[in-house]
């Protein structure tokens, strides 16, 4: 995997390297009247911020104590790195249900807009109050208006992702986002399927064989031609994983 994230207008015009990037699918069992579904499981983390290769004069400019937080290198260094994780239940991330199963081939050329910002905002419009991604850029910054394209390299079987969006909401309840970001990442493997179900306490009461069987049953109901998958525990708290052989 190789990738970079750029925050337009910050002290790094060439962006920051990505430390990791996950492209997977999260499977959700039915709950009451809510049918079973599959959602995109996306997350990234940048490498830690470090001083850019620049002249002393330019460096003094970005270290200006009067500079806005976005333009100040010290502000970025104090927060370490950027990361974002998709929210498990967000409707914009749904890619399949039991009526229309997920087929991995759909990621060969996948385009979607997630959390678009409406042209006209009403007082009753609260959609962006629960965003599609939990993010950390400078402190805890919201993200929205994600334009995402995923393409599969037929030779390697790996994926290239281009993703741009907006971040740094000016204030809670205000739908103006002050800055933009861009992510370009190549040679990303498909990370497989994870089950969003059990807490640690519940896991302790269910055998590994039962958890494997339940996850494979959910996979069968939502995924077309899943291929051979290996079972793995402890992927994230409360999540078991099936990943490709």
Residues 18-46 have pLDDT tens digits of 999 999 999 998 888 888 999 999 999 99
d(CA 179, CA 15): 14
* Listed residue (194, 205, 192) closest to 159, CA to CA: 192
pLDDT above 80 (res 230): yes
Residues above pLDDT 70, as percent of the chain: 82
Closest CA to 113 of 165, 53, 41: 165
The DSSP annotation for 90-109 comes to -GGGEEEESSS-EEGGGGGE
Least confident span in 11-15, 144-148, 221-225, 237-241: 237-241
Of 99, 103, 97, give the one whose Cα is nearest residue 29.
97
Domain range list for the chain:
2-196
Q: What is the DSSP string of 20-34?
A: EEEEEEEEE--BTTB
Mean pLDDT of 205-220: 89
DSSP-derived secondary structure letter, 52: -
Contact 107, 190 (CB under 8 A): yes
- C-alpha to C-alpha distance for 203 and 190, rounded to whole angstroms: 25
Confidence of residue 57 (pLDDT cuts 50, 70, 90): very low
pLDDT of 163-211, one tens digit each?
Answer: 999 998 766 555 678 899 999 999 999 999 998 765 556 666 778 898 8
| pTM of the predicted protein model | 0.87
For the chain, the distance separating the N- and C-terminal CA atoms, rounded to the nearest angstrom, is 18
88 vs 165 pLDDT, higher one: 165
- If one compares 230 and 118, the residue with the highest pLDDT of the two is 230
The strand pairing partners of 14, in sequence order, are: none
CB 73 within 8 A of CB 59: yes
Please name the helix (run of DSSP H) or strand (run of DSSP E) that holds residue 210, with its range, or none.
helix 208-222
Tell me, what's the pLDDT at 56?
47
Q: 84, 24 in Cβ contact below 8 A?
A: no
pLDDT of residue 47 exceeding 50, the answer is yes
User: Are the CB atoms for 122 and 84 separated by under 8 Å?
Assistant: no
Residue by residue, DSSP assigns 169-198 as ESSTT---EEEEEEEEEEEEPEEEEEEE--
């Amino acid at each position: 995997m190789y990738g970079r994230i750029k925050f337009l207008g910050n002290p790094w015009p060439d962006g920051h390297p990505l430390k990791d990037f996950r492209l997977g699918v999260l499977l959700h069992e039915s709950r009451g009247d809510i049918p079973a579904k599959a959602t995109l499981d996306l997350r990234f983390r940048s490498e830690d911020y470090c001083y850019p290769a620049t002249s002393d004069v330019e460096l003094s400019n970005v270290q200006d104590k009067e500079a806005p937080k976005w333009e100040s290198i010290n502000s970025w260094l104090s927060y370490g790195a950027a990361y974002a994780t998709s929210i498990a239940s967000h409707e914009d991330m749904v890619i399949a249900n039991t009526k229309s199963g997920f087929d991995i081939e759909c990621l060969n050329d996948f385009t979607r807009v997630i959390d678009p910002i409406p042209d006209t905002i009403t007082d009753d419009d609260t959609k962006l109050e629960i965003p599609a991604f939990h993010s950390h850029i400078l402190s805890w910054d919201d993200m929205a208006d994600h334009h995402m394209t995923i393409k599969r390299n037929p030779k390697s079987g790996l994926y290239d992702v281009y993703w741009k969006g907006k971040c740094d909401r000016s204030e809670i309840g205000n739908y103006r986002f002050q800055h933009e970001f861009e992510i370009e990442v190549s040679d990303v493997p498909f990370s497989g399927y994870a089950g969003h179900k059990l807490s640690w306490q519940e896991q302790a009461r269910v055998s590994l064989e039962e958890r494997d069987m339940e996850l494979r049953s959910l996979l069968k109901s939502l995924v077309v031609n899943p291929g051979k998958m290996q079972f793995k525990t402890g992927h994230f708290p409360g999540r078991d994983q099936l990943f490709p052989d």
